[in-house]
Amino acid sequence: MSIVAEHIGKAFGNPPVRILSDISLTIPDGDFVSLTGRSGAGKSSLLYVLSSLDSPTEGRVLIEGVDITQMSSKQLHATRNVKIGFVFQFHYLIAELTVLENVLVPALKLHQEVSRRPRAENLIAKFGLSDKMNRYPRQLSGGEMQRVAIARALIMQPKYLFADEPTGALDTINGEAVMSILQECNTKDGTTVIMVTHDPDFAKMAKRQIRMADGRIISDG
Amino acid sequence: MIFIALRYLLERKKQTVLTLLGVFFGTMAYVGVSGFFVGFQGFMVQQLVNNAAQVHVEARKDYLTEHVLDGPFFGKDWLHAFWVSPPAGVEGFQEIQNPSQWYQRLAADPRVEAYVPQLSAPALFTLGRNSVGTTIMGCDPKKQARVTTIADYMIAGKFTDIAVGGNRIVMGDELMKRLGAAMSQTVMATVGVNPVPVPFKVVGRFYSGSRGLDLQAFAAISDIQRTNLTPNQVNEIGVRLKNYQDADTMARTWAMSSPERVESWGDQNANILSVFAIQTALRFSMIVTILVVAGFGIYNILNMTVNQKRQDIAILRALGYDAFDVIMLFFSQGMIVGVIGGACGLACGYLLCAYLQTIPFMVATPSNPQGHLHIALNFKIFAQAAFMAIFSAALASILPARAASKLTPIDIIRIGG
């Protein structure tokens, strides 16, 4: 099973501005891909299209052989809930929930907050936040909040993890800690990780680097 | 989603409480105002249906109009008759045409609880230098006491004493005051067409609180028939029903099959009932206005919350929560406020009504011995209040909730929330 993009194109606005042009690629299970390139190259746009957050203007995306552009809203959200995890540059934690409750938000959708609680506590402990389990986001540092966001992305044991500049708002130490977590997810749990990054050092930590420019893939390897 | 919704509400306690207070006061006001108005109307209706007959049958008298005799005089071959002196006067009957047929019909009707034949006549009472013109009602006291509550209003003597014999009379308190009469005194009465005053002994006094009724007098029907020089005449029949709400229907039915004028208590008090209808309309519009304002409070707060929580909406959609979940997140906030505010409003509305019932408000009357406000505490008022609180909260919540559900995560994420 894998993620397959077939002749993806994306344009928006009036007159249309082309963001992605004829992109085709296959990401096999267990891969760790970094999308790199200058600002405006289309990295994040491609990430959003591959992850179902955005829809392509042309082409299609298949996840596990299913065309996500043809899925119903219910199927799409179910897929996002169970099979896909997201980490963004901004943590997007819910301010009114504690660390533990934020991590369990995806499980709340399926009423699995009780059964998934041990895993949530394990993830929080693994990321060095055991003593902060009942604290609110406003009581955490930037790095700590990003780690909570990653724990939230992993609570449902997703097959695919999409990360958009996960270290963009972090200092070096916290950035390295986040990259370490992503690598561990990939190597130990077999999670397929697709990550957008500006940092060439972090890009090299991936198994495969896809470079983009002007909405096209210019190198893949 | 209710878990997250509750957290949102608890995080901004002041806003939540203020919004809740709007629904609370609106609901409490509805219960209190409705309890007051409905209670007052109920009290007045009870007065109307108890103090007089619920269906009133009387000999028909019609006022002659200008063209009422055109047909009898000119047949069909006329276009318009111009009268030099148009006909005027009253045509009709002085008495009920076939009272025994009425008695049979009323006795056989299972909806009729009681009836009383009556002879009503104008009377001039004189005591010394005082004279008062009023109406004297001749009746069978036992039957009269079953049709109206007149016997309950006696403050001296017994109503049935008028049937003992020998021209006995029971007078209203207001009539006795104007005459300056006292119990056991004899007053002179000039009744109906009889120009000769006839002595009547006062054997009873009643006070109903209704000025019109308290100016009247009652005597045995046989005494009035003799005094009025109209033996065996009956010109009215008062009817009491098992269910007073059937009065309109029954009056219409009986009116179609008899020459008499048949009116329900509603017909006779149409002006009062129209005032009640206006009161009810005013009550509803006032309370609806209050709840609409409370609803606007919920709408504004939720609109602000949707704007403030765009990032939360984005991440929830990314985590697999669909549009319906987002609607429920915001809709449930409004409904929680509406339900809690409404429930508190109902409870405090009940306590308010219970307190209002203890306030002395009007002069004590036999029908209202404590002189307190009559407050209605019926289920219908509470159900209406609860419905309006929940409906206004629901309507105010659904619009911002739907707007929130239309936000796409990608748009929020692209612009950084």
Q: Averaged over B342-358, what is the pLDDT?
A: 91
- Specify the higher pLDDT residue, B40 or A152: A152
DSSP 8-state class, residue B170: E
Output the DSSP codes for B181-208: --TT-EEEEEETT--S-EEEEEEEEE--
Does the beta-carbon distance from A86 to B318 stay under 8 Å? yes
Task: Say whether residue A72 is in contact with chain B using an 8 A CB cutoff.
Answer: no
Contacts with B320 from chain A: Cβ below 8 Å: 77-82, 106, 109
Residue A210 burial (CB count, 10 A): 23
Does the beta-carbon distance from B312 to A80 stay under 8 Å? no
Contacts with A164 from chain B: Cβ below 8 Å: 413
Considering the entire predicted model, what is its pTM? 0.73
**B21 is written with which tokens?**
């207070």
A73: enclosing H helix or E strand: helix A73-83
Does the beta-carbon distance from A77 to B409 stay under 8 Å? no
A86 min Cα distance to partner chain B (Å): 7
For B48-97, write each residue's pLDDT tens digit. 777 788 999 998 877 777 777 777 777 776 677 787 887 777 777 778 88
A116 min Cα distance to partner chain B (Å): 15
Does the beta-carbon distance from B319 to A90 stay under 8 Å? no
How far apart are alpha carbons A16 and A215 in whole angstroms?
14
Q: Averaged over A187-208, what is the pLDDT?
A: 90
Does the beta-carbon distance from B319 to A152 stay under 8 Å? yes
Asked if B342 and B386 count as a contact pair (C-beta separation under 8 A), the reply is: yes
Q: Distances from the Cα of B151 to the Cαs of B203, B276, B329, in angstroms?
A: 13, 28, 64
CA atoms within 13 A on the CB side of B301: 28
pLDDT bucket at A94, cuts 50 / 70 / 90:
very high
| pLDDT at residue B212 in the model | 86
Give the start-to-end residue ranges of the domains of chain B.
Answer: 2-49+272-414, 86-259
In sequence order, the β-bridge partners of residue B260 are none
Q: Which candidate from A48, A73, A96 shows the least CB-CB separation from B322?
A: A73
Amino acid in the structure at residue A105: V
Does the beta-carbon distance from B410 to A48 stay under 8 Å? yes
Does the beta-carbon distance from A78 to B315 stay under 8 Å? no
Task: Say whether residue B188 is in contact with chain A using an 8 A CB cutoff.
Answer: no
Give every CB contact of residue A36 below 8 A, 6+ residues apart in sequence.
A43, A196, A197, A198, A200, A203, A209, A210, A211, A212
Asked if A148 and A93 count as a contact pair (C-beta separation under 8 A), the reply is: yes
For B339-349, write each residue's pLDDT tens digit. 999 999 999 99
Give every CB contact of residue B184 below 8 A, 6+ residues apart in sequence.
B201, B202, B203
Query: If you average pLDDT over every residue of chain B, what do you get?
Result: 87
Q: Which candidate from A81, A90, A109 shows the least CB-CB separation from B417?
A: A90
Contacts with A95 from chain B: Cβ below 8 Å: 11
DSSP 8-state class, residue B360: B
Question: What is the side-by-side order of every strand in the sheet holding A32-37?
Answer: A84-87, A160-164, A192-196, A32-37, A208-213, A216-220
How far apart are alpha carbons A186 and A106 in whole angstroms?
20
Contacts with A74 from chain B: Cβ below 8 Å: 322
Q: Which candidate from B321, B323, B410 shows the least CB-CB separation from A53?
A: B410
Q: Averaged over B254-280, what is the pLDDT?
A: 86
pLDDT at A129 over 80: yes
Asked if B224 and B243 count as a contact pair (C-beta separation under 8 A), the reply is: no
Q: Beta-strand (E) ranges in B242-296?
A: 261-264
Does the beta-carbon distance from A109 to B321 stay under 8 Å? yes
Output the DSSP codes for B316-359: HHHTT--HHHHHHHHHHHHHHHHHHHHHHHHHHHHHHHHHHTTS
pLDDT at B320 over 70: yes
How far apart are alpha carbons A197 and A164 in whole angstroms?
7
- What share of chain B has pLDDT > 90, as a percent? 42
Contacts with B323 from chain A: Cβ below 8 Å: 73
pLDDT at B14 over 60: yes
Our measurement of the distance from residue A156's CA atom to the centroid of its chain's CA atoms, rounded to an integer in Å, reads 13
Q: Which candidate from A48, A79, A92 shows the least CB-CB separation from B315?
A: A92
Asked if A9 and A59 count as a contact pair (C-beta separation under 8 A), the reply is: yes
Q: Peptide bond before B366: cis, by omega within 30 degrees of 0?
A: no
Q: Which of A108, A150, A159, A165 to mutate to test the interface with B (most CBs of B within 10 A)?
A: A108
**B396 is written with which tokens?**
């105010």
Task: Say whether residue B313 is in contact with chain A using an 8 A CB cutoff.
Answer: no
Q: Averaged over A196-210, what is the pLDDT?
A: 89
For B300-315, write each residue's pLDDT tens digit. 888 888 888 888 998 8
pLDDT at B201 over 90: yes
For B143-198, write each residue's pLDDT tens digit. 999 999 888 889 999 999 999 888 999 999 999 999 999 999 999 999 988 899 99
Q: Are strands A66-67 and A58-63 parallel, antiparallel or unpaired?
A: antiparallel
| pLDDT at residue B265 in the model | 86
| B 201-260 residues with CB < 8 A to A | none
Contacts with B3 from chain A: Cβ below 8 Å: 108
Q: Are strands A192-196 and A32-37 parallel, antiparallel or unpaired?
A: parallel
Burial of B42 (0-12, 13-18, 19+ CB in 10 A): middle
pLDDT bucket at A69, cuts 50 / 70 / 90:
confident
Query: Which has the closest alpha carbon to B250: B234, B263, B237, B235?
Result: B263
Contacts with B4 from chain A: Cβ below 8 Å: 94, 96-97, 105, 108
Residue B401 burial (CB count, 10 A): 24
